Amino acid sequence: MADARPFHWEYHPEPVAREVFRIEGGRRLDGTVPISGAKNAALKLLAAATLTGERCRFTNVPEIEDVRVMAETLRDLGVVVDHPEPNVYEVASGDVEWLFVPLEAAARMRASFMLLGPLLTRFGRVIISNPGGDRIGRRPVDLHVEAMRALGASIEYRNGYYFATSPGRLRGGEIRFPFVSVMGTENAMLAATLAEGHTIIRPAAQEPEVDDLITFLQAMGAAVERTAPDTIEVEGRKRLRGAEHRVVPDRIEAGTFIIAAAVTGGRLTLEGAPCDHLAAFVETMDRVGVGIACGTDTIDVDGSALLEGGYRACDVETAPYPGLATDLQPPTAVLLTQATGTSHVHEAIFEDRLEWLSEVGRMGARVEMIDAHHATIDGRSRLVGAEVEIGDLRAGASLILAALAAEGTTTIHGAHHVHRGYENIERKFLDIGASISRSAEGTTDTTS
Ligand code: EPU
């Protein structure tokens, strides 16, 4: 099998501007939080815009680092990416000059690999680096590569790069994944939109962000449909047109703020929040004892049980949608430190996504790691401020949650990871009564 590690003789990662959050915990959070557009939808929509030379316009795009990285990566290819106002991006891929996605882009963000399908299917070739992304275990791309091969592409792997070519148009075909992959499904679907003939993708990921991408592709004139919950079928078209699309709200951000209310005993109203996309998570909250009321596009959270009877321990297991999202496992684990009894956590999707629990352990949580996929949490623990380090995006947001629940001050190093995926996170927390400040590593605070 191809070497799964990025490798490049000349590559030196750019130095990152490291940041620190300082959080004074123990305050109840109350108020209203606007929920932003979903990172994991926006990145794929931007990639999909390269399927046409016509202009595409996206609204409700989150102002986050990963979106900026994707925009920069597209510009390096010769794509025109305009950002006329906050949360709006316009993409025109009429003059793509450079069918090469370098390690510099890929090492910063795994979603850069989403350019494989659209560039290959439209231009018949692309050279793309093996992606990096979060430090949450080995994250291969073999399913993406096999999907392209199933559509007739030849792909070679050399020195950390995939060299993908297709002599003519890709050919529709049957793509059978051994298990569900979100980006694998999306890459296959994007490639199939311009292939010749019919493609069937099974099992297809069912995440709401995948359906958001389907809606956009349909607006571009693609014949894509989810014909069964786990099946997507595509009839290839010769060309697609420009389209406009509003990005679906971020269910992971919404879940993060639900836990913020829960662990501080607060009450929050989340605006523009997608309750329909959070069924498994809301069910977990019910079992633990967090009060949730869903409106049409609002979610009211009542964390008063924290101060009254307390929360109940609960066993959780992550799964592909409609199961409990792996991206909500770390915030949920923080809540479980505040629940009475022993909770078992089974992280079924990624290796190493429980490692960050050792940082919450430093804050006083009683956590036992059983293996790479299993841990137990004994609650209720009194969390106390400590100096902790963020390793990846979701763990980072969860350390903020733990710090908000803790007594005293927590210093979180590596805070810049959080800006990859959460728009204005400190502003949103400040507005609901948190005491949080951010500064460059080694300097004093820039916000309070
Ligand atoms: N996998 C393979 N081979 C592949 C692809 C995936 O073995 O070619 C494995 C993965 O290692 C993992 C499992 O399949 O064990 C499922 O991974 P999946 O492909 O579904 O994940 P992904 O598409 O790479 C997206 C999100 C992740 C989210 C997962 C699961 C984006 C940009 N990323 O990743 O989001 O955790 O789906 O829902 O959409 C995040 O936002 O912080 C994040 C990590």
Quote the mean pLDDT of the chain.
93
Number of other CB atoms surrounding residue 8 within 10 Å? 16
| Closest ligand 1 atom, residue 209 Cα | 39
* The Cα angle at residue 43 between residues 269 and 295, in degrees rounded to 5: 20
* The pair of three-digit structure tokens given for residue 230, joined into one six-digit string: 């786990």
Q: What are phi and psi of 163, to 5 degrees?
A: -105, 105
194, 169 Cβ separation under 8 angstroms: yes
| Ligand 1 touching residue 139 (CB < 6 A) | yes
Three-state SS for 38? Answer: coil
Task: Give the pLDDT confidence score for residue 194 in this predicted structure.
Answer: 98
DSSP codes, 325-366:
-GGGHHHHHHHHTTEEEEEEEE--S-TTTTTTHHHHHHTT-E
Give the pLDDT confidence of 181-240 residue by residue, as tens digits: 999 999 999 999 999 999 999 999 999 999 999 999 999 999 999 999 999 999 999 999
Cα 327 to ligand 1 centroid, rounded to whole Å: 10
| Closest ligand 1 atom, residue 39 Cα | 41
Sheet arrangement for strand 174-176: 174-176, 198-202, 231-235, 223-228
Q: What's the mean pLDDT in 152-165?
A: 94
- Nearest protein CA to atom 9 of ligand 1, as residue: 139
- Nearest protein CA to atom 8 of ligand 1, as residue: 141
Q: What are phi and psi of 300, to 5 degrees?
A: -100, 130
- pTM score: 0.95
245: pLDDT strictly greater than 90: yes
| Closest ligand 1 atom, residue 138 Cα | 11
Distance, in Å, from the CA atom of 192 to the CA atom of 223, rounded to the nearest integer, reads: 10
Give the pLDDT confidence of 295-304 residue by residue, as tens digits: 999 999 999 9
6: pLDDT strictly greater than 70: no
* The pair of three-digit structure tokens given for residue 403, joined into one six-digit string: 């710090």
* The pair of three-digit structure tokens given for residue 344, joined into one six-digit string: 């078992």
Question: 315-318 — which CB contacts under 8 Å span 24+ positions?
Answer: 315/343, 315/344, 315/345, 315/346, 316/284, 316/343, 316/344, 316/345, 316/346, 317/345, 317/346, 317/348, 318/346, 318/347, 318/348, 318/349
Task: Give the pLDDT confidence score for residue 447 in this predicted structure.
Answer: 42
Q: How confident is the model at residue 10 (pLDDT cuts 50, 70, 90)?
A: low
- 21 Rama class: left (phi>0) / alpha (psi -120 to 50) / beta: beta
| Ligand 1 touching residue 167 (CB < 6 A) | no
| Closest ligand 1 atom, residue 43 Cα | 32
**Amino acid letter, 219:** A
